[in-house]
Homo-oligomer: A and B are copies of this chain.
Amino acid sequence: MTKKPHNAFYAQSGGVTAVINASAAGVIETARKNKHKIGNVYAGRNGIIGALTEDLVDTSKESASSIAALKHTPAGAFGSCRYKLKSLEENRAEYERLIAVFKAHNIRYFFYNGGGDSADTCLKVSKISKALDFPIQAIHIPKTVDNDLPVTDCCPGFGSVAKYVAISTREASFDVASMAKTSTKVFILEVMGRHAGWIAAAGGLASTSDSPLPIVILFPEVVFNRKKFIKKVQDKVKLHGYCSIVVSEGVRGSNGKFLSDQGLTDAFGHAQLGGVAPVIANIIKEDLGLKYHWCVADYLQRAARHIASKVDVDQAYALGESAVKLAIQGHSAVMPTIKRLSDSPYRWKVSSTPLSRVANVEKKMPKKFISSDGFGITPNCKRYLEPLIKGEAYPPYKDGLPKYVVLKNKLVAKKVGIDFKL
* A142 interfacial contact with B, CB 8 Å: no
Contact of A406 with B by CB under 8 A: yes
Quick check: is A15 within 8 A (CB to CB) of the other chain?
yes
Query: Are A401 and B298 also in contact (CB < 8 A) when A82-B182, A306-B307 are?
Result: no
A318 within 8 A of B: no
Residue A420 lies at the interface, judged by CB distance under 8 Å to chain B? no
With a cutoff of 8 Å between Cβ atoms, the chain B residues found around residue A329 in the complex are none
A1 to B273, CA, bound (A): 73
**Chain A 46-90 interface 0/1 with B at a Cβ cutoff of 8 Å (1 = within):** 110100000000000000000000000111111111110000000
B residues in contact with A380, CB < 8 Å: none
Cβ-neighbour of A272 out of B177, B264, B394 (below 8 A) = B264
Bound Cα distance from A177 to B16, whole angstroms? 10
Whether A274 contacts B278 in the complex (CB less than 8 A), given A170-B402, A177-B75, comes out as yes
Contact with B along A268-286 (1 / 0, CB 8 A): 0010111101110110011
User: Which of A160-168, A222-230, A352-360, A411-419 contacts the other chain?
Assistant: A160-168
Check if A236 is an interface residue, CB within 8 A of chain B. no
Q: Is A399 interfacial (CB-CB < 8 Å)? A: yes
CB neighbours (8 Å) of A175 from chain B are: 16, 74-75, 299, 302-303
Any B CB within 8 A of the CB of A366: no
Which chain B residues border A304 with CB–CB below 8 Å?
168, 171
Q: Which residues, 201 to 252 on A, are CB-close (under 8 Å) to B?
A: 205-206, 208, 210-211
Most B CB contacts (10 A, CB to CB) among A78, A182, A263, A401 go to: A401
Q: How many residues of A are in contact with the other chain, CB < 8 A?
A: 90
How far apart are A162's CB and chain B's nearest CB, in angstroms?
A: 9
Chain B residues in 8 Å Cβ range of A100: none
Per the bound structure, the CA–CA distance linking A408 and B181 in Å amounts to: 18
A46 contacts B182, C-beta separation under 8 Å? yes
* Residue A104 CB within 8 A of the other chain: no
Inter-chain contact B181/A81, CB cutoff 8 Å: yes
A179 interfacial by beta-carbon distance below 8 Å? yes
- The segment out of A114-122, A370-378, A384-392 that lies at the interface is A384-392
Q: Is A179 within 8 A of B400, CB to CB?
A: no
Query: Which stretch from A31-39, A129-137, A288-296 is at the chain B interface?
Result: A288-296
Residues A282 and B294 in contact, CB atoms below 8 Å apart:
no
> CB distance A166 to B401 under 8 Å?
yes
Cα–Cα, bound, A206→B182 (Å): 35
A140 contacts the other chain (Cβ, under 8 Å)?
A: no
Write the chain B residue with the least CB distance to A12.
B178
Give bound CA distance, A240 to B390, whole Å: 36
The answer to whether A266 touches B262, judged by C-beta atoms less than 8 angstroms apart, is: yes
Q: Which residues of B contact A281 (CB under 8 A)?
A: 273
- Partner of A275 from B168, B184, B270, B278 at Cβ < 8 Å: B278
Q: Are B303 and A286 in contact (CB under 8 A)?
A: no
Q: A300 near B: Cβ within 8 Å?
A: yes
A42 beta carbon closer than 8 Å to chain B: no
At the interface, yes or no: A347 with Cβ under 8 Å from chain B?
no
> Would you give the shortest CB distance from A171 to chain B, in whole angstroms?
4
Contact B262 A267 (CB under 8 A): yes
Known: A306-B171, A406-B211. A272 touches B270 (CB 8 A): no
Q: How near does chain B come to A75, taking the closest CB pair, in angstroms?
A: 4
For residue A305, CB closer than 8 A to chain B, the reply is: yes
Complex contact A401–B179 (CB within 8 A): no
Indicate if A172 sits at the interface (CB-CB under 8 A).
yes
A12, A177, A208 pick with most chain B CB within 10 angstroms: A177
* A272/B267 contact (C-beta < 8 A), A49-B182, A79-B181, A179-B15 known: no
14 CB < 8 A contacts A-B? A75-B174, A79-B180, A81-B183, A82-B179, A166-B400, A171-B299, A175-B303, A187-B299, A264-B267, A277-B296, A293-B298, A300-B300, A307-B307, A391-B400
Q: Which 3 A-B pairs have the closest CB atoms?
A: A76-B178, A263-B267, A389-B400
